[in-house]
């Protein structure tokens, strides 16, 4: 495998070769720990799948908060492309507002670039307040905003004073950092600084939790909430799928934070622990094994025998309901191979589910994850920020004397840390089988070479890859949008996922790729093109 | 659905809500894909490029390849020259296009990157016989349509040459239409036996077949040598003022090829004008096959007229497309009540109003630089019988229970649209089918059981 990857890299110009080879690791347990280079700048001209800081901030973290108006300060494209394109579902709460179907922009024109756009931004906020009377507004900056020096922070301060509602500004210009990741960080900082902890709810209920880094794609968050509520947990807030402003304000009242997407929300998880004393655990609600393990971890955290018993009872019930179907799909999928290339978390989470279905992962990687997502949080002290990322603000919080609660004693914490992933994430590499290829910021060329060589049965990625992969004769499913299906999380989601990929792999159309009058015979589901 | 849209219209000067346009570079990317073995390149930060590829892919359900200069903060301050140089090197090495078509974003435009100079500086890395061209496509001016137009023009500026030997061909710039439309225009030209150069041409690119092999550069797309040779043609027909005229004017200026602007041939009258023009230019008789198609269209217009007569329509989208649709619905006896484009410019309203005046329609609302929030408000105040436009209208259609025809860009939620035309007589026939289907579906769905008809 190493030889093959070396051969792939040979085609690169020298400088590109040098850089790319550090982003590729072949799992070898005997060499553990293995280091990968990640979160560095994208090489121009490579056909990356990466997006920008604005996408990470507004598109991913802020956008799903349904009852805030998210105004994008920039030319029209940035707001337009985040309009309904990520499937972070949201239901209107009784008497509440829901802006998910809307797209708001200052639609900057040439004159705004020349003379500055602050005046227009102020006017846009005024109009938004007049028409909608929202509870709160966010302003997201786009590329030109930073360059022309519009002070969106000053506008936010003015708007708060003028209209008496919270107006948050995010300097998430697209060129900041090297990917969506910078945007996550910027969004986390301001939610932490200005929203979380400002609610007036008194922490009362037992077993209260927050779900962090869950964006309710295709209803994932709702399926997870269904299970958690069945066990008896009180969900204080979800960040940010189907999220509401009021609930996020009260996030500090929960007793435990569950971190699903480590990459996008670990900043808030860390800061809430420091400021409010709320511990966090890494969870994985993808796949039955992942969900079961997570439910057990949460029960152990609270530690009450009745809760543990109830948890086991619900796990048994849920498993009984899906077992037969999962078994059936496994017979249809067993022995197949998969490649996973998703943003910053799913490439890892879905491997548990694929394993349940008898599918082996042969290549995995992230667009924009950092080394800790690959190698585990223990490497964080050794990560050096490079020039491209060092301008992203690092927010330091302190203990909030009034709101800090000791939820776990240090002794209890230490004891629990041995059995559940308290403030711990092991990363992707440790979970991989021997020989699996791990690639960071994979590009089109590498994708094509890998498919030709490894001939996987399925390739999980995003919309930009989907039809490339399919044209090569390999079943492709999107693990960002779920191809408009879902939920994929939780027990019920596992069955929907299994159904979707089974239908994809076995769909009759694969049989017709080669016309009957062509001589070459064709293997079902293995129509890999190229010169292999 | 869209519960927060108020009936009361508050005039907005700054806040854009639910736009009826997007930004320039995606248009440039689409135009570049209409040239064979061309790789579009986005000179800006990588987010734009990903978004534009995403949106085009979702519309066509096809691979959309493009590269980016992937600006960092440093490049955004000090200029993207070295990013461009690295990109060009990597692109030719790895992806070997015949031509790289560079467009810009609001980032590189705001910092003032000088593309012409940059391109001259990367020439040592451009292999023999290959090209790098560019169009400036600032996102803060115009719309995606402007970007399309600028890129088509850029191909002419960089490539077309008048070699002194006139050819017998005519150039046709089809405007921003679907691959199925481009195929239809080519079919009409071939039925009339007219030698032509159609550019750009995304047929064969964004409707490529499944063969088991991924082709980075599918068979389709206008060949570079044809765009070069366009400078020798005897005439250019620009279909669409907004999308095609700039390139035709450039060709006239640069290569002295005379030009004429017509509308995109949507509907009977615009198609009549195209066919008549072609016949006059080439002194050729219109073949009977085309006359048959026209006759079939008129036959169908008469057959179905009861369901269209007097019905009010709301139409939104890109100026050239909307102009064609407005004229067509009038020919069906319908009333275009609200006509909206997100693309700025006075030409749109002037052209639409001229068509309306000619047909003595007086109380329509025509607005360029408008958005779907406003259109919805207008419809709340005065309901219409049919809504026509891109996918984003489905929310309004559901909220107001209005029959809805998907037409224009983007269509993100339906399959196979790029295979079929809306242009020409055949396209008009298809439009009638789509329009009558949704109108009749609503009657079937909502009428009393005792009024449910077998034959309609």
Average pLDDT value for residue range A166-193? 98
Which of A69, A77, A107 is best to mutate for the B interface (most B CBs within 10 A)?
Answer: A77
DSSP codes joined into one string, B131-158: EEEEE---TTSS-HHHHHHHHHHHHHHH
Burial (Cβ within 10 Å: 0-12, 13-18, ≥19) of residue A497: buried
Residue A524, pLDDT > 90, answer no
- Judged by CB atoms closer than 8 Å, whether chains meet at B22 and A76 is answered as yes
As a whole number of Å, the CA-based R_g of chain A is: 24
DSSP codes joined into one string, B307-323: HHTT-EEEEES-HHHHH
β A360-366/B386-389 pair status: unpaired
Q: Which residue of A has its CA nearest to B3?
A: A98
Helices (H), B304-423: 305-308, 319-331, 346-358, 372-381, 394-400
Residues of B whose CB is below 8 A from A107? 16, 19
Give the three-state DSSP class for A439: strand
Which of B1, B2, B16 is best to mutate for the A interface (most A CBs within 10 A)?
Answer: B16
Residues of A forming the active site:
52, 55, 86, 184
Residues of B whose CB is below 8 A from A466? 57
B406 DSSP β-pair partners:
B389
**What ranges make up the beta strands (E) of A348-412?**
360-366
* Six token digits for residue A206: 């037992």
- Judged by CB atoms closer than 8 Å, whether chains meet at B212 and A132 is answered as no
Residue A526, pLDDT > 70, answer no
Q: Which residue of B has its CA nearest to A8?
A: B94
Q: Indicate the average pLDDT of chain A.
A: 96
Residues of B whose CB is below 8 A from A144? 106-107, 110, 140
Q: Which residue of B has its CA nearest to A483?
A: B58
Average pLDDT value for residue range B351-360? 98
Pick from A99, A143, A468: which is nearest to B45 by CB? A143
* Six token digits for residue B420: 């079929």
Average pLDDT value for residue range B176-181? 98
For residues A332 and A508, what is the distance between their CA atoms, to the nearest angstrom? 14
Q: How is residue A63 annotated by DSSP?
A: T
Note the ipTM here.
0.97
Residues of B whose CB is below 8 A from A124? 14-16
Q: Which residues contact B132 (CB under 8 A, 6 or more apart)?
A: B88, B99, B100, B102, B119, B122, B123, B126
Residues of B whose CB is below 8 A from A182? none
- Judged by CB atoms closer than 8 Å, whether chains meet at A143 and B41 is answered as no
Q: Which residue of A has its CA nearest to B210?
A: A471
Place of tokens 């679907």: B178
Average pLDDT value for residue range A440-460? 98
pLDDT reported for residue A206: 86
Q: What is the pLDDT of residues A355-380, one digit of tens each?
A: 999 999 999 999 999 999 999 999 99
For residues B113 and B119, what is the distance between their CA atoms, to the nearest angstrom? 11
Q: Sorting pLDDT into bands at 50, 70 and 90, what band is A521? A: low
Task: Classify residue A392 as left (phi > 0), alpha (psi -120 to 50) or beta.
Answer: beta
pLDDT reported for residue A525: 58
Q: What is the pLDDT of residues B201-235, one digit of tens each?
A: 999 999 999 999 999 999 999 999 999 999 999 99
Q: Is the dihedral of CA B81, B26, A171, A478 positive or negative?
A: negative
pLDDT reported for residue A530: 47
For residues A505 and A470, what is the distance between their CA atoms, to the nearest angstrom? 11
pLDDT reported for residue B268: 98
Q: Sorting pLDDT into bands at 50, 70 and 90, what band is B190? A: very high
Q: Sorting pLDDT into bands at 50, 70 and 90, what band is A1? A: confident
Average pLDDT value for residue range B296-315? 98
Neighbours of B268 (CB within 10 A): 19
- Judged by CB atoms closer than 8 Å, whether chains meet at B106 and A74 is answered as yes
* Six token digits for residue B409: 């860009």
Torsion, CA A229, CA A232, CA A234, CA A237, rounded to 10: -30
Q: What is the pLDDT of residues B88-119, one digit of tens each?
A: 999 999 999 999 999 999 999 999 999 999 99
**What ranges make up the beta strands (E) of A20-173?**
24-26, 68-73, 104-105, 136-141, 166-170
Q: Indicate the average pLDDT of chain B.
A: 98
- With vertex at residue B48, the alpha carbon angle to CA B46 and CA B50, rounded to the nearest 5 degrees, is 70
Torsion, CA B322, CA B323, CA B328, CA B331, rounded to 10: 140
* Six token digits for residue B244: 């095609």
Q: Sorting pLDDT into bands at 50, 70 and 90, what band is A211? A: very high
- Judged by CB atoms closer than 8 Å, whether chains meet at B48 and A106 is answered as no
Residue B411, pLDDT > 50, answer yes
Q: Which residue of B has its CA nearest to A387?
A: B74
β A437-439/A24-26 pair status: antiparallel
Residue A522, pLDDT > 70, answer no
Chain pair A-B, CB pairs under 8 angstroms: 263
Q: What is the pLDDT of residues A72-103, one digit of tens each?
A: 999 999 999 999 999 999 999 999 999 999 99
pLDDT reported for residue A531: 47
Q: How close A79 comes to chain B (CA, Å)?
A: 9
Number of H helices and number of E strands within chain A? Answer: 20, 14
Average pLDDT value for residue range B7-25? 97
Query: What CA–CA distances, in Å, run from A226 to A88, A232, A489?
Result: 17, 10, 11
B170 DSSP β-pair partners:
B196, B235
Average pLDDT value for residue range A22-40? 97
Q: What is the pLDDT of residues A143-155, one digit of tens each?
A: 999 999 999 999 9
Average pLDDT value for residue range B181-210? 98
Q: Is the peptide bond before B410 cis (omega within 30 degrees of 0)?
A: yes
Helices (H), A334-357: 346-356
Strand order in the sheet with B335-340: B365-367, B335-340, B312-316, B386-389, B404-406
Q: Sorting pLDDT into bands at 50, 70 and 90, what band is B54? A: very high
Q: Which residues contact B224 (CB under 8 A, 6 or more apart)?
A: B35, B36, B37, B98, B99, B131, B159
Residue A527, pLDDT > 80, answer no
pLDDT reported for residue B402: 98
**What ranges make up the beta strands (E) of B80-182?**
99-104, 131-135, 170-173
- Judged by CB atoms closer than 8 Å, whether chains meet at A49 and B50 is answered as yes
């Amino acid at each position: 495998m190493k030889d093959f990857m070396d051969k792939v890299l040979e085609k690169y110009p020298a400088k590109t070769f040098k850089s790319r080879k550090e982003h590729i690791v072949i799992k070898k347990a005997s060499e553990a720990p293995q280091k990968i280079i990640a979160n560095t700048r994208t090489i121009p001209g490579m056909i990356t799948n990466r997006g920008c800081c604005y996408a990470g901030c507004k598109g991913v973290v802020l956008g799903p908060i349904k009852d805030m108006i998210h105004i994008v300060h920039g030319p029209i494209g940035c707001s337009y492309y985040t309009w309904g394109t990520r499937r972070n579902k949201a239901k209107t709460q009784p008497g509440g507002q829901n802006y998910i179907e809307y797209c708001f922009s200052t639609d900057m024109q040439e004159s705004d670039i020349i003379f500055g756009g602050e005046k227009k931004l102020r006017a846009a906020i005024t109009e938004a307040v007049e028409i909608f009377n929202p509870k709160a507004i966010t302003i997201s900056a786009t590329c030109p905003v930073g360059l022309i020096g519009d002070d969106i922070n000053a506008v936010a301060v003015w708007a708060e004073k003028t209209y008496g509602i919270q107006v948050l500004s995010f300097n998430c210009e697209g060129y900041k950092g090297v990917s969506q990741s910078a945007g996550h960080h910027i969004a986390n900082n301001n939610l932490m600084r200005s929203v979380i902890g400002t609610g007036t709810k008194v922490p009362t209920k037992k077993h209260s939790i927050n779900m962090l880094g869950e964006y309710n794609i295709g209803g994932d968050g709702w399926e997870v909430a269904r299970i958690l509520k069945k066990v008896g947990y009180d969900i204080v807030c979800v960040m940010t799928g189907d999220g509401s402003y009021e609930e996020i304000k009260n996030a500090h009242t929960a007793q435990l934070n569950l971190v699903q997407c480590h990459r996008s929300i670990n900043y808030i998880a860390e800061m809430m622990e420091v400021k409010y004393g709320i511990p966090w655990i890494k969870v994985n609600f993808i796949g039955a094994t992942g969900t079961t393990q997570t439910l057990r971890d949460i029960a152990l955290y609270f530690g009450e025998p009745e809760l543990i018993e109830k948890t086991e009872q619900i796990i048994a019930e849920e498993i009984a309901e899906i077992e037969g179907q999962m078994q059936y799909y496994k017979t249809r999928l067993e022995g197949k191979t998969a490649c996973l290339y998703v943003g910053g978390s799913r490439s890892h989470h879905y491997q548990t589910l694929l394993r349940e279905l008898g599918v082996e992962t042969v290549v995995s990687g992230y667009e924009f994850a950092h080394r800790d997502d690959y190698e585990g949080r223990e490497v964080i002290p050794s990560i050096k920020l490079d020039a491209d990322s060092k301008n992203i603000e690092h927010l330091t919080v302190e203990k909030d004397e009034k709101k800090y609660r000791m939820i776990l004693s240090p002794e209890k914490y230490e004891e629990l840390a041995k059995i559940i992933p308290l403030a711990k994430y092991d990363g992707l590499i440790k979970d991989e089988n021997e020989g699996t290829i791990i690639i960071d910021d994979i590009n089109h060329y590498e994708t094509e070479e890998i498919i030709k060589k490894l001939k996987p049965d399925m390739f999980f990625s995003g919309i930009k890859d989907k039809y490339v992969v399919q044209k090569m004769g390999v079943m492709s499913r999107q693990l960002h949008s779920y191809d408009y299906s879902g939920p994929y999380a939780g027990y019920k989601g596992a069955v929907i996922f299994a159904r979707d990929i089974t239908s994809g792999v076995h769909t009759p159309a694969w049989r017709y790729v080669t016309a009957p009058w062509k001589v070459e015979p064709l293997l079902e589901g293995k129509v890999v093109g190229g010169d292999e | 659905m869209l519960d927060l849209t108020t009936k009361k219209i508050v005039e907005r000067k700054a806040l854009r809500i639910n736009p009826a346009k997007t930004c320039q570079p995606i248009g440039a990317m689409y135009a570049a894909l209409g040239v064979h073995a061309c790789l579009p390149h986005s000179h800006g930060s990588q987010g734009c490029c990903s978004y534009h590829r995403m949106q085009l892919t979702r519309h066509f359900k096809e691979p959309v390849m493009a590269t980016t200069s992937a600006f960092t903060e440093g490049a955004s301050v000090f200029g993207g020259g070295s990013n461009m140089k690295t990109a060009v090197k990597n692109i030719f090495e790895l992806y070997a296009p015949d031509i790289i078509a560079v467009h810009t974003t609001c980032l590189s435009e705001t910092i003032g990157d000088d593309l012409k100079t940059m391109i001259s500086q990367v020439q040592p890395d451009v292999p023999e016989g290959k090209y790098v061209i560019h169009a400036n496509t600032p996102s803060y001016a115009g719309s995606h349509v402007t970007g399309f137009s600028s890129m088509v023009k850029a191909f002419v500026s960089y490539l077309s040459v008048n070699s002194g030997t006139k050819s017998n061909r005519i150039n046709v710039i089809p405007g921003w239409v679907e691959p199925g439309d481009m195929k239809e225009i080519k079919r009409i030209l071939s039925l009339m036996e007219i030698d032509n150069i159609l550019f750009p041409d995304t047929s064969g690119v964004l409707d490529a077949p499944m063969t088991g092999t991924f082709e980075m550069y599918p068979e389709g797309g206008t060949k570079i040598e044809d765009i070069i040779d366009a400078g020798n043609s005897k005439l250019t027909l620009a279909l669409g003022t907004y999308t095609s005229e700039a390139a035709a004017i450039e060709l006239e200026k640069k290569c002295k090829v005379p030009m004429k602007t017509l509308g995109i041939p949507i509907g009977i009258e615009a198609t009549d004008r195209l066919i008549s023009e072609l016949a006059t230019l080439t002194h050729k008789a219109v073949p009977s096959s085309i006359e048959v198609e026209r006759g079939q269209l008129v036959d169908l217009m008469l057959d179905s007229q009861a369901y269209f007569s007097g019905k009010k329509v709301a139409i939104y989208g890109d100026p050239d497309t909307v102009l064609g649709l407005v004229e067509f619905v009038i020919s069906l006896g319908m009333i275009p009540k609200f006509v909206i484009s997100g693309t700025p410019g006075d030409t749109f309203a002037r052209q639409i109003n001229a068509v309306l005046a000619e047909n003595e329609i007086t109380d329509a609302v025509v607005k360029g630089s408008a958005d779907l929030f406003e259109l919805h408000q207008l419809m709340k105040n005065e309901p219409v019988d049919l809504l026509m436009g891109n996918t984003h209208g489905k929310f309004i259609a559901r909220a107001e229970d209005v029959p809805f025809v998907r037409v224009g860009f983007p269509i993100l939620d339906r399959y196979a649209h790029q295979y079929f035309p809306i242009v020409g007589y055949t396209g008009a026939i298809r439009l009638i089918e789509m329009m009558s289907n949704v109108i009749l579906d609503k009657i079937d769905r909502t009428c009393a059981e005792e009024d449910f008809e077998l034959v309609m």
